[in-house]
Every structure is written in structure tokens, then in C-alpha cells.
Structure 1
Amino acid sequence: MGDFGVYAVFGVNGPPQKLLSAQGSCRVAVAVPSTVRQVVLFSSGPWGDRVCVNAELNDADRIPITIGKLTPYNKCLSWEQWEEETWTDSVTLNVSLEGLNLTTADWSEPELILAVKEYTPKDAAAPPTARDLKGKRKRDEGEDEDNKVNKTGEDENTCPNGAVEKTTPVRKAKGQTKGRQKLFGSGAANGAGETQGIVGRTPPQSAARTKSRQAKTPTHSAPLLSPSGRWGQTLCPIDAQTAILIGGQGARMQFCKDPMWKLCTEDLSWVAAETLAEGPTPEARIGHTAVYDPDTRRIFVFGGSKNKKWFNDVHILDTQSWKWTMVEAQGKVPPLAYHSCSMFRGELFVLGGVFPRPNPEPDGCSDSLYIFDPHLSIWYQPIVTGDKPSPRSGHSACVMQERKIYVFAGWDTPVCYNDMYMLDLGLMEFSAVKTSGKAPSPRSWHGSAVLSDTKFLIHGGYNGNNALSDAFVFDIDTNSWTEVTLPQLSAPRAGHSIITMETAGRRRFPEDGEDADAGSVGRTLLVFGGGDNEGNFYSDLTTVAVEELLGAI
């Protein structure tokens, strides 16, 4: 096999061009010609001690459009202009190498600016411009938008279970005219599971992109210090100082090309983590779940969807060996997205969710409970009694006192719920919970987190028209709701992630007015991502002291 090299192909007919070699520069910048609509980056040859190759498309202001990594397990990346929201005629591809004990001197050399050798085959028609493509797609796919809203079960790009009678604009197909669009479409009832709700473009100077620009690393190794804006991802704590971010979807229905990050809560820093783990990583997806088993120190990723593809696979990330494995499970579980998944005594409890249409269920949403036993690698359905929740998706489930699961809200065409159910894990019995106080309005895709042995939080979500910004605390001792108001939780969000983590030592959070006492131990609520139904996708990390939150009750 030849020496290690990193190559790029610019345009569908362009020849491969070597950018990095075993003896060459450690980084390179390439001005992409304005006629190029596609870029493919790949490696060839043995990787040796090389860790990864960072790749970044920048606009004229050197702000990242999208980022990716080549690794020994992922040796090819590709981009298309009409898939990238801010790709203009002034795009630069920056490529840098990590590994091989590179010294500071290796990085002090000037970047090499390459001119791409453009290639036009003889007798070949000029490639269609982005404008031509967009115009064609708009005529073919975007005409008569008002009629598309009412074609139940036929519109691909709509929210799962959106109510037909709603007037929220449907999601536009890739390549259609840009404009302020709603995050969630409506219209596809009965599972419409081919699509995921948030759409719309992030404005060029949105908060997410501004933060990305400000967060440029002072060192050479990481072109971006935080994840791109997204919704529908999972954020899974694995220890007192670490959480793992997996998946998600951003502007223009683009699945995130930086799908895995590690969050260090000691300084609230992010590390791109897709290069850390060996083995087959889960395919890009949204509406999946990820839960951590502290006994085996493994993360279990289940389900979700990607465009017309739906998943019922189980992927396991061993956080000790940092290796992915895919489970060959026995038993049957349907492909599901926007379900809930809870860990109890080493087993996964999967409830509800959306089926792909038209099969296996015409109604789209599930009311079934499935349990996965990792020791036997088998799915089974337990015998449950009592008054179980109606079919739904986008609901939340909180495990309380290691013996009860509280299920709240969700959506099934055309109803959006705000009811509460409790599953007694000892008796395997469901019961409807009669609550007091001001309850949250009906919603789905909200965030939830356990605050204490007796209290959990519900924040934000989507009610069929708007993203919500309110927050409520439920007390299982009194079965009562209490609304809380904090400035940190005032932004409308749906499809976001909320977790609580222990924090210790002297630390200063952005929202705190003063340092925590040295040696003190507390819990902090962390909120990441989501969208506001106005075309914005968040990449910020909001923190709230749990003590402050409980004090606001």
C-alpha cells in the first residue's frame, strides 16, 4: 500500500488532487472555485499514528459553514452546495492533520494556499448552477404549497403527527427558495415519520454562528470548539464531569456532520469525539434515545429516523474502551422515533414513539412498552396492567426513586397532550395521575430532567404552532405542578436536551453572579440545542443551579 495521503475531488468530473502527504505540510487551505458545487475529501494509505484529519468549509469571513473529520474508521467526507446553507462563491476548504507527535514547529509554517486545477471534459454540458437546480426543484416539488398541507400521509417533510388543520407552513424540500420558515410543519398525520420537524435557515449572523466564530480555538487542533446548532439530539451524562452528545439535525434538514461531542462540565468545554471511538458508529439520525448504564459504563443508542429511513437498531458505546458495537438482538421491536427510553436495573424500557408509515400500524403512534435485556440481547414485551397512556410520541419519561416512571404529554394526530401517567416498576402497573396546580399546556418535544428524589422539570416544547419557553416543576409527593420563571430558561426551545449533573469545586458559570465555594458539591441543570420555530437552531449551553431552580418554586 502506498504512503498516507489526503486527497480532494472538486466537482463531479474533477480529478483527485493530493492536499496532504506523509512528508508534506500538516495543514493546507484551498480556495474552492465558484463553479464547483461538490467537494469530496478522502484519505488513502496507512494511517499509522495519525489521529484524524480536520476538515472545515469556511465562508468569506472565515466562519465555519460545516466541519467534519477523516479518521481511520471514517475515510471519506462529501459536501454539496445546495445542502449547505451558507455556501457562497467564496468558500475555502481548510484541512489539518492531527497525530504523529507533531511539534509546534510543524504548525508555525504558513498555510499553503492551493489553486484548484479545474477540469472541464470535452463535449460536456456545463453543470447546472445552484439557481437552476433550485428553480427546477421548486417547480417540481414546491408548487401549490397550500394543497400540500392537506395531503395527509403524502408530504415527506412535515412533523410526525402534525395536525392537518394547522396552518403552520410545511417544511420545504431541499433546494427550494430560502426564507424564514417554521421549525415544525403540519399536515402529515398518522406517523408521517419520514420527516423530522424543525426546519428553517439560521440567519448569517445568528447567535449560533457568532458563537462558532468567537469560539475558534487558539491552537491548531480543533477548528470549532462547540457543536453546530441542532435539535433532536441526545445529551447523555456518563460521569460527574462528562456528558456525550450524539446526533441531531440543523438548518435545511441537514443532519449534523459533527454528530458526536464530549462535554466536560469542569470548564464547560466541548471536544469533538467522533474520532475517539473505534467500531461502526451509528448512522446519522434524529428522534433517537441514548441512555447510560453506570454499572457497565455503556451508552445504549436506540431507534430514531433519517429522512425515509427508520431504525430499530441498538448501538452500544463502551466508555471504558471507547468502542462502538451494534447488537444482534433477538425478539421484535418496531422501528421507532420520538419515543422515550428509561434505564431500570440494567434494562431499557422503551415506550411510545412514531412508527414509519404506512406499516406496521396505520395509526402511526405506539402505546406499547418494550424492554431490552442487554445481558441476553433480547427484546420482549412485559405484561402490564392498569390505565396505560394512549398512543403518543414526543413525550417525556422520568425515572423517580428507582421505582416509578412518570410519563408526561406528547402528541398523536390530531391531539397534543398534557396528561400524566405513572408506571409502577414493581407492580408493572400504569395509572393516570391526578394533578393539582397550574399544569403545563399541551406539548411535545419538550425537555425534562430529574431535580431531586421527588421533583422533576418540564421545559419548553412545541404545541402545534409555536415553540414554548415556560418551565414547570412537578412534585410526586403532592402530585402538584408549580410554574417557575428564570431568565436562563426564557428562550423558546423545542427538541432540546436537558440534563442534571453534579458539580464540585470552585467554578463560575455564565449565569451565576459569583463563584461557588471551593469544595462545595451541588447539581447543575444544563440545557443544550433545540430550535425556536423561527428558523434558529441553538448551539449554546445554558446552565442553571438546581438549588436556584428549586428556590424559585
Structure 2
Amino acid sequence: MGDFGIYAVFGVNGPPQRLLSAEGSSRVFVAVPPSVRQVVLFSSGPWGERICVNAELNDADRFPITIGKLTPYNKCLSWEQWEEETWTDGVTLSVTLEGGNLVKADWSEPELMSVKEYTPKDHAAPLAPRELNGKRKRERALEKDGDGNKMTSGGEEENVCPNGAGEKTTPVRKARGQTKGGQKLFSAGADATKMKGTANGAGEAQGIVGKTPPQSAARTKSRQAKTPTHTAPLVSPSGRWGQTLCPIDAQTAILIGGQGSRMQFCKDPMWKLCTEDMSWFAAETLAEGPTPEARIGHTAVYDPDSRRIFVFGGSKNRKWFNDVHILDTQSWKWTMVEAQGKVPPLAYHSCSMFRGELFVLGGVFPRPNPDPDGCSDSLYIFDPHLSIWYQPIVTGDTPSPRSGHSACVMQERRIYVFGGWDTPVCYNDMYMLDLGLMEFSAVKTTGKAPSPRSWHGSAVLSDTKFLIHGGYNGNNALGDAFIFDIDTNSWTEVTLPQLSVPRAGHAIITMDTANPHRFSGEGAAVDVRSTLLVFGGGDNEGNFYSDLTTVAVEDLLGAISRE
């Protein structure tokens, strides 16, 4: 096998161009020829001690428009112009090698090196304005009906980032009653030409597009901040929404996926959280095998019997996924399942584990133009042992089509489904699926119920209670919290300062964590308590959070008696 090298192919007819070699620089910048619509980046030769290669496509203003990473187990990346709404004139490809022999790395060199040194000879001329010839596939004329709901000539958007930067070509939709010109950035978003995302404090030093939210419910507005082209290694995840956080044991949870400012998919898509000291470790290169492609709106569920994480579905711009990726947490190896049976590509669905099978309900699925993307009301089950999808026979009063809802498995007997969204309607209804009878029924509740919402967080607190927190109501992100008791079918609103910040698209889990306090005496044991963990999300004002909030479950349950 030859020496290690990183190569790029610009356009379908371009020859491979060597960008990095085994003994050369560990960083390079290449001006993408204006006529190019596709870029392929790949490695060749033994990786040795090299860890990964970070790749970014940047626009003329030095904003990253798409990001990826090569590893010893994922040796090829490709991008196409039509996938990326912000791919404009003056695109630059930056490639940075991490690990191995970095003696020659000069991090003080200019941000943009000479283009001629890395550009094919037939494209060495200065960049000319790119003619798109009206071929942007996502650009659509928007109209409003009499009720203020936007309609598109090419289909409505269901999988739109709630806090996205929103370029002019991004279709957006107003919810019923939304005022004109409001900065609403979910699929009911309005002013799509503005973006308020920023980096703050330590986040700026680390190149994080995200922030820690204020400790009050008041929203803050901040100016747009550019992401540095070169960043120091992150010590914690960047701000994001639409990710998953999956506990695998009493000390560990795995963060997967997400999307941050300017609708960019996170370049740090996988992290490992150690709950002993609440520290983060970048984990993308820890596991072998093909890692899942960047995405949001997917689900990740852990099976304690097989000690595997199952990642299903999600979306990436106009890509939709119905693939199943499995991470074996013992061997730390990814595999992609070649499943039999049919399941549509889905995003913002719910996925519950019951007796070793995945129960996937609802979600958004793509339809061929000109039909708008639609919401599902179907239940699909994946059997990992047979690697097959099937649809069970379900009776009773089934939920209406929806996405962005939540589902909680209670007492290994029932799945409770709450809320969700089916444009232009938000829901706050509750349904219960009896897993023995496979029968749905509408749940009649008492007490103050949560207002209609989607993209909220939910977590099981005990055998009889689960939490609903935050979400998006069609106009604003929410910062309230409610506990549902399945014994009495009653709601109770609880107020805790830690949960008062409005956020949606965040991740919530409960897990047993060690208390710093230890019991005294011979044979002392660690005091373990159940803890609620809240990570990330957005506030619908352009801010994406990277904070980790912890709340003792006993404090949540104790708050019920105080209400």
C-alpha cells in the first residue's frame, strides 16, 4: 500500500488532486472552481497514528456551509451543491489533519493559502460568479392563504430547523396567528433572512456556535458571530438542537447528532458524557465501523440486554433516512443493518424499546413534489434479531398524524404519547398504547395540562410519573414543566429554576448518578440517586445551547406536593 494521502475530486469529470501527503503540511486550503457542483474527499494509504481529518466547505465570508470528518473507519466524504442551501460563489475547501506527525503544522500561517498551489491547472483562473440558472431545488415561491398559513408551490417544509439561520432560499411557514416579520424560526418561522446565533464566553475561545442560556426565562438577543475557520479542540459539545442523548450505564451517556447555527450540522457529532464529574469526551473516533451520517430528528435507544444503541431515521436538509445504525458499546463498533421489510424515511418520530424491539410511531416523511411532506400516524416495529420491519395490527382510538411528539414506556406495559405537530396544528392530547392488547386509547386527564407543543423533552421519573418540559408552540419556545401521574391520569405543573429557560429540540434523560457524598463507616458505598439531565436545544431567537443542566428527581417529585 502506498504512502498516506488525502485527495479531492472536484466535479464529476475532475481527476483526483492530492491535498495532503504523509510528510507534508497538516493543513491546506483549496478554492473550489466556480463550475463545480460536487466535491469528493478521500484518503489513501495507511493511517498509522493519525486520528482524523477535519474538512470544511466555507463560503466567501468564511462561514462554514458544510462540515465533515475522515477517520480510519470513514475514509470518504462527498458533497453536492443542491444539498447545501448556502453553497455560493467563492467556496473554499479547508482540510486539517489531526494526529500523527504534526511537526510541520504552522497554525500561525494565513487563513487562505495560495489557491494556485492546490487548484487544478485548468481552474487556476480567478473565481468567476457562479450561475445557478435557477436550479436551486429548495427555492420555492411562497404564498399565504386567507388564514395566514404559508403554502408552497413545491411542497411545504416539515423538517426545518427551529433556530436555523434561514437563507432566502429556505422555505418557511407561518403558523396561524403569527405576526408579520416576527423572528420565528421553527417550521412556522418568518423572517428567514436574519440570524441571531452567537458564541459566548468560553464558547468563542473554543469555536463553539452555541451558548449557555441565562438563568432566567428572559430571552437575550445577540449579534451574529462568525465561526472561526481554525478552532482549538472542543472540551464540550457545541450548541445544537435535534440531537439525542442516550444513557448506557450509571456513569455514561452518549450524545449523537444535532444541528447548530446557520442550519449547519455539528462537526462534533458524537460525545461521551461521564456523569461522575459531568465531563465530556469527543467520541466520534473511538468507535470502529461506518458512523451514521450527520442528521437531526433521529432517535437513539439503548437496549440493556444486548448493550447496543439503535439509531434510526432523521433528516439532513433534503435527505431523509430510514436506516438503522447499531453501536455495540462493548466492542465500540458501528454496524449498519440491512433490514428486510418496509419503513418510510422518518424524522421527528418517537422510538421506544420494548422487549428488545423498536416501536417507531409517527414522524415526518417526504412526499414527491408537488405534494407537501406529510406526518405519519403509523406504528412500525423493528426486530433486531431477525433484522426485519413489520407493522402490527393495532386497534382502538389511534393518535392523529403528528411529529415532534414524545413517547414514554411505563411499567413495561404501556406507551404514553403526548403532543406533537401537524402543520398548522400543535397538540396537547394524550394517547396510551396497551402493549399487551396492542390497543390505543385516548387518555382523559385532569389538572392543568401542558399547552399544545412539539419538540419538547420527556423523561420517566418513576414507575407512575413522567415529565414533559419545554418545546415549541408554533410561535415561541417554552420553559415550563409538567408531571403526569398514570395512576390518577392527572397533570401537575412544577416550577424549578433549573427548568425555567425556554428551549425546544433539547435532550432529556434520567439516570442513576453518584452523589459526591459518601456514607461513612466500614464498607462505605457511593450514594446513588436518580438525576434528570437536560442538554442543548434552542430558544427560537437564534441561540443554540451547549449547557448541561442536572436536577435531582427527588426534587422534581417533591415539587408536586408544593404546587
| Aligned counterpart, 2:115 | 118
Q: Is the 8 A contact 2:143 2:151 kept in 1?
A: no
**Secondary structure at 2:526 match in 1:** coil
Q: How does 1:168-183 map to 2 (within 5 A)?
A: 171-173=166-168, 181-183=183-185
Indicate which of 315, 318, 335 corresponds to 2:345: 335
Q: Is the 8 A contact 2:139 2:170 kept in 1?
A: no
- Does 2:530 match 1:523? yes
1:364-406 Cα distance to aligned partner (Å, 9 max, x none): 2222222111111222222222222222211100011111111
Q: Is the 8 A contact 2:207 2:232 kept in 1?
A: no
Q: How does 1:215-364 map to 2 (within 5 A)?
A: 223-358=233-368, 364=374
Q: Is the 8 A contact 1:8 1:19 kept in 2?
A: no
Q: How does 1:414-493 map to 2 (within 5 A)?
A: 414-493=424-503
1:436-475 Cα distance to aligned partner (Å, 9 max, x none): 1111000111110111111111011111111111111111
**Secondary structure at 2:374 match in 1:** coil
Unaligned runs of 5+ in 2: 172-180, 210-230, 519-523
Choose 11-20 or 71-80, whichever is displaced more. 11-20
Counterpart residue type for residue 487 of structure 2: D
**Secondary structure at 1:550 match in 2:** helix
1:317-369 Cα distance to aligned partner (Å, 9 max, x none): 21112222222222222222211110001011111122212499989222222
Change in CA separation of 1:372 and 1:360 when aligned onto 2, cut-off 3 Å: farther
Inter-partner Cα distance in structure 2 for 1:248 and 1:369: 25
Change in CA separation of 1:328 and 1:319 when aligned onto 2, cut-off 3 Å: same
Change in CA separation of 1:506 and 1:36 when aligned onto 2, cut-off 3 Å: farther
1:479-505 Cα distance to aligned partner (Å, 9 max, x none): 111111222212211111111121114
Q: How does 1:202-217 map to 2 (within 5 A)?
A: 202-206=196-200, 209-210=203-204, 212-213=206-207
Unaligned runs of 5+ in 1: 163-167, 189-196, 216-220, 509-516
Shift of 1:34: 12
Counterpart residue type for residue 210 of structure 1: E
**Secondary structure at 1:210 match in 2:** helix
Choose 355-364 or 269-278, whichever is displaced more. 355-364
Counterpart residue type for residue 183 of structure 1: L
Counterpart residue type for residue 374 of structure 1: P
Q: Is the 8 A contact 1:531 1:537 kept in 2?
A: yes
Inter-partner Cα distance in structure 2 for 1:366 and 1:127: 46
Change in CA separation of 1:208 and 1:293 when aligned onto 2, cut-off 3 Å: farther
Counterpart residue type for residue 296 of structure 1: S
Q: Is the 8 A contact 1:182 1:199 kept in 2?
A: no
Inter-partner Cα distance in structure 1 for 2:278 and 2:51: 24
Q: Is the 8 A contact 2:320 2:346 kept in 1?
A: yes
| Aligned counterpart, 1:393 | 403
Choose 448-457 or 421-430, whichever is displaced more. 421-430
1:55-113 Cα distance to aligned partner (Å, 9 max, x none): 68999xx999987532122234579999799x999x996834325xx7xxx77996573
Inter-partner Cα distance in structure 2 for 1:425 and 1:477: 17
1:241-272 Cα distance to aligned partner (Å, 9 max, x none): 11122222222332223222222222222222
Counterpart residue type for residue 453 of structure 2: R
**Secondary structure at 1:183 match in 2:** coil
| Aligned counterpart, 2:544 | 537
Q: Is the 8 A contact 1:29 1:112 kept in 2?
A: no
| Aligned counterpart, 1:494 | 504
Shift of 1:171: 4.6
Inter-partner Cα distance in structure 2 for 1:184 and 1:241: 34
| Aligned counterpart, 1:152 | 151
Shift of 1:11: 12
Inter-partner Cα distance in structure 1 for 2:267 and 2:165: 24
Shift of 1:522: 0.7
Counterpart residue type for residue 381 of structure 1: Q
Change in CA separation of 1:311 and 1:41 when aligned onto 2, cut-off 3 Å: closer
Choose 375-384 or 65-74, whichever is displaced more. 65-74
Counterpart residue type for residue 157 of structure 2: T
Q: Is the 8 A contact 1:134 1:175 kept in 2?
A: no
- Does 2:365 match 1:369? no
**Secondary structure at 2:557 match in 1:** helix
Shift of 1:203: 3.4
Shift of 1:19: 4.3
Q: Is the 8 A contact 2:141 2:152 kept in 1?
A: no
- Does 2:415 match 1:405? yes
Shift of 1:161: 10
Q: Is the 8 A contact 2:536 2:544 kept in 1?
A: yes
Q: Is the 8 A contact 2:165 2:263 kept in 1?
A: no
Q: Is the 8 A contact 1:31 1:116 kept in 2?
A: yes
- Does 2:187 match 1:185? yes
Inter-partner Cα distance in structure 1 for 2:89 and 2:197: 14
- Aligned residue pairs, count: 513
Q: How does 1:47-196 map to 2 (within 5 A)?
A: 47-53=47-53, 68-76=68-76, 95-98=96-99, 111=107, 113=109, 116-119=113-116, 126-128=126-128, 141=139, 152=151, 154=153, 158-159=157-158, 171-173=166-168, 181-186=183-188
Counterpart residue type for residue 197 of structure 2: P
Inter-partner Cα distance in structure 2 for 1:397 and 1:244: 20
Inter-partner Cα distance in structure 1 for 2:534 and 2:244: 11
Choose 450-459 or 537-546, whichever is displaced more. 537-546
- Normalising by structure 2, what TM-score? 0.76
Q: Is the 8 A contact 1:469 1:492 kept in 2?
A: yes
Choose 323-332 or 370-379, whichever is displaced more. 323-332
Q: Is the 8 A contact 2:142 2:152 kept in 1?
A: no
Shift of 1:43: 3.1
Shift of 1:316: 1.4
Change in CA separation of 1:387 and 1:265 when aligned onto 2, cut-off 3 Å: same
Q: Is the 8 A contact 1:170 1:187 kept in 2?
A: no
Inter-partner Cα distance in structure 2 for 1:435 and 1:250: 36
Identity across aligned pairs (percent)? 73
Change in CA separation of 1:434 and 1:257 when aligned onto 2, cut-off 3 Å: same
**Secondary structure at 1:488 match in 2:** helix
Q: Is the 8 A contact 1:199 1:535 kept in 2?
A: no
**Secondary structure at 1:399 match in 2:** strand
Inter-partner Cα distance in structure 2 for 1:31 and 1:170: 25
| Aligned counterpart, 1:165 | none
Counterpart residue type for residue 420 of structure 2: G
1:109-153 Cα distance to aligned partner (Å, 9 max, x none): 965737733228579764246xx8899999x94877769985535
| Aligned counterpart, 2:177 | none
Shift of 1:49: 4.3
| Aligned counterpart, 2:222 | none
**Secondary structure at 2:556 match in 1:** helix
Change in CA separation of 1:531 and 1:385 when aligned onto 2, cut-off 3 Å: same
Counterpart residue type for residue 113 of structure 1: E
Choose 3-12 or 44-53, whichever is displaced more. 3-12
| Aligned counterpart, 1:514 | none
Counterpart residue type for residue 184 of structure 2: K
Change in CA separation of 1:461 and 1:205 when aligned onto 2, cut-off 3 Å: same
